[in-house]
């Protein structure tokens, strides 16, 4: 049996990391948090209200695709990720055709409120607005989950899909 790759995508503040950790723990999967592996220069750009360039994003995509290959040799993986460009989502499917994408659907105002409550996050409100408005429509096969619900309800919804 092949190991599964579950990719939880959403804008910062949508609950990706919280849900990814919970799902991984419940299923006995490895958890991969994009925030933990993101190069510091990219985080600094976001702290300074800048978006990451396509070139930087492309280089970083190669890093986490390599990480996935390595991790999937031993276990199924739940990854929490911001993947705003369709080309990068396609690259995941090209490399892992059985990946399951879960998109956390949440309004901008709720994201702002959540991010304001997190003083330690590298994403500013200004960068959040830019990212939200520049996020490309998801065309690849995916499931949308209402992330305004309680953590337990969102977890249950995701477990039903995977």
Q: What is the mean pLDDT of residues 107-135?
A: 74
What pTM value is reported for the model? 0.83
User: In 3D, which of 52, 59, 33 has the Cα closest to residue 123?
Assistant: 52
Q: Tens digit of pLDDT for each residue in 17-46?
A: 999 999 999 999 999 998 888 888 888 887
- Residue ranges of domains in the chain, CATH in brackets: 5-161 (3.40.50.300)
| pLDDT at 146 > cutoff 90 | yes
Q: Which residue has the higher pLDDT, 13 or 63?
A: 63
Alpha-carbon gap, residue 1 to 75, rounded angstroms? 11
Q: Are 51 and 131 in contact (CB under 8 A)?
A: yes
Alpha-carbon gap, residue 26 to 44, rounded angstroms? 33
């Amino acid at each position: 049996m092949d190991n599964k790759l579950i990719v939880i995508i959403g804008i910062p503040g949508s609950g990706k990391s919280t849900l990814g950790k919970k799902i991984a723990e419940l299923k006995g999967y490895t958890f991969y948090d994009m925030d933990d592996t993101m190069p510091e220069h990219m985080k600094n750009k976001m702290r300074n209200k800048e978006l990451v360039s396509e070139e930087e994003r492309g280089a970083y995509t190669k890093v986490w695709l390599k990480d996935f290959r390595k991790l999937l040799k031993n276990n199924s993986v739940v990854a929490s990720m911001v993947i705003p460009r369709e080309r990068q989502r396609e690259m995941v499917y090209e490399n892992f055709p059985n990946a399951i994408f879960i998109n956390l659907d949440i309004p901008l105002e709720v994201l702002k409120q959540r991010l304001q409550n997190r003083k330690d996050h590298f994403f500013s409100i200004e960068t959040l607005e830019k990212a939200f408005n520049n996020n490309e429509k998801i065309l690849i096969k995916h499931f949308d989950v209402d992330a305004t619900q309680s953590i337990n309800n969102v977890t249950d919804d995701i477990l039903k899909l995977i």
